[in-house]
Amino acid sequence: MHVSTREPAGQKPQTADPVLVLMGVSGSGKSTVAGIIAGAMGWDLQEGDALHPPANVAKMASGQPLTDEDRWPWLDLVAGWIREHTDNGLPGVITCSALKRSYRDVLRGDNVVFVHLAGSRQQIGERLTTRLDHFMPASLLDTQISTLEPIQPDEDAIVVDVGGSPTQVATEIIAQLEQRLGR
């Protein structure tokens, strides 16, 4: 499993438990891995998709990709959850596709670490075809992949390949966090 950690230039190493934003395209395992991490660490967990307004859910369920105009109010809700936690020194895990740098810029803040669950189109496509309990159809995967802007060197992030099991991926993320925190 390949993992790379990037801390923005000029920023002090992290010492407090962060808020993790598990990001990536639909089907990358965000919800499953986030649940494992939150359970293992005893941190708050928020499923970002649960914050979507009904109109967004209906649009995606019908196979239509969201526009930026659809996403901004949702991203504001996700950012609010993150700020509530970071302002109060509470660690947490939230899922959010965060596909574009401009979306991540809305979510970015002190003590926020993005965790990009990265995988091949084939890996993620296979996962989507077996998933039964989600409103996002597999037909939108190509749109998500074309929208995805890779993590840049100045973004505080961990990039993890999703080739392993969800438990292996979560274990690797926790190990990287422990290393960052000097534990």
pLDDT tens, position by position, 84-111? 999 999 999 999 999 999 999 999 999 9
Q: pLDDT for 125-147, tens place per residue? A: 666 665 545 445 555 667 777 88
Q: Are 82 and 21 in contact (CB under 8 A)?
A: yes
Class of domain 19-181: alpha beta
Beta-carbon-side half-sphere exposure of residue 70 (alpha carbons within 13 Å) = 13
Task: Point out which residues pair with 158 in neighbouring strands.
Answer: 5, 115
Cα gap 44→56, rounded to integer Å: 25
Give the residue extent of every domain in the chain: 19-181
pLDDT in the model for residue 2: 37
For residue 122, what pLDDT band results from cuts at 50, 70 and 90?
A: confident
Angle at 164 between CA 158 and CA 168, to 5 degrees: 70
Greatest alpha-carbon span in the chain: 46
Q: How far apart are CA 59 and CA 32, in angstroms?
A: 24
Tokens representing 90? 């509470």
Q: Tell me the sheet residues that pair with 19.
A: 92, 112
pLDDT at 10: 38
Mapped onto helix, strand or coil, the DSSP state of residue 39 is helix
Whole-prediction pTM value? Answer: 0.83
Lowest average pLDDT, out of 5-9, 11-15, 51-55, 86-90, goes to 5-9
